Structure 1
Amino acid sequence: MKADLGRVHQGLTAGAGELSALAELGAVRASWERRIEDARDECRSLTGKLRAVASTQSEVNEAVKGSFGRVRVAGTGEGR
């Protein structure tokens, strides 16, 4: 995505000639590049946390599933 942003920016500046907005265009590009990097960093920071949540949820699911074996079914005297 960041490489695409660079290619698009090059095409815009090449066709812009002497437009005074080129400085602003560069600032906008830099802003978007920072945003992309910030989003990548945030996603990377969540990786371990999300894996930990999935692991904990799996353990809880197994514990709940195991607890059903102790439930007595009326009329049979047996657990399920």
Structure 2
Amino acid sequence: MDDGTGGRGPASGDRLKHSSKPWNDAATVAQSLATSMASAKTELAAGNNGVAKGTEGLASTAVLKEVLTSWDKRLESARAECQSLAPALRAASGAQGESDAGVRGKVDGIRTPGAHGKEG
């Protein structure tokens, strides 16, 4: 018998589920990556201290400096992106939960013929 839901079961907000855990987990990972990138920048700089003095006169010194600068910029860009992503993911979690609650309230108010054994 067709219950008016296209075979998907009764029209009910009970099937609308939202979990903030994946969003919050992703935010935690993004923050962790931002911290790791900051540490990597520090280690990169420390590992290259004094290299210019030890390689004076070598053509590779300028190339090494370019590579160091390039990696420093990349790490900073990745760190900044992760840093800004963490709060955005947490905000998305909250917004999704609020949206789900609003939709659930509207869906619960819909009665279709045959839903829950009664006519709406």
Equivalent residue runs for 1:1-80 within 5 Å = 1-2=40-41, 3=43, 19-75=58-114, 76-78=118-120
RCO higher in 1 or 2 (8 Å CA, sep ≥ 6)?
Answer: 2
Task: Report the Cα distance in structure 2 between the residues aligned to 1:68 and 1:31, rounded to whole angstroms.
Answer: 53
Residue in 2 that maps onto 1:12? none
- Structure showing the higher helix proportion among its residues: 1
Structure 1 unmatched ranges of 5 or more: 10-15
Offset, 1:4: 6.8
Which TM-score applies when normalising by structure 1?
0.63
CA-based RMSD of the aligned residues comes to 2.8
Task: Give the TM-score taking structure 2 as reference length.
Answer: 0.46
- Cα offsets for 1:22-70 (capped at 9, x unmatched): 3212221221112101210121122222211221111111211222211
2:92 and 2:76 map into 1 onto residues whose CA distance is 25
Aligned residues: percent identity?
Answer: 34
Unaligned 5+ runs, structure 2: 1-39, 49-54
Instruction: Spell out structure 1 runs of 4+ moving beyond 3 A.
Output: 1-7
Q: Equivalents in 2 of 1:45, 1:73: separation in Å? A: 45
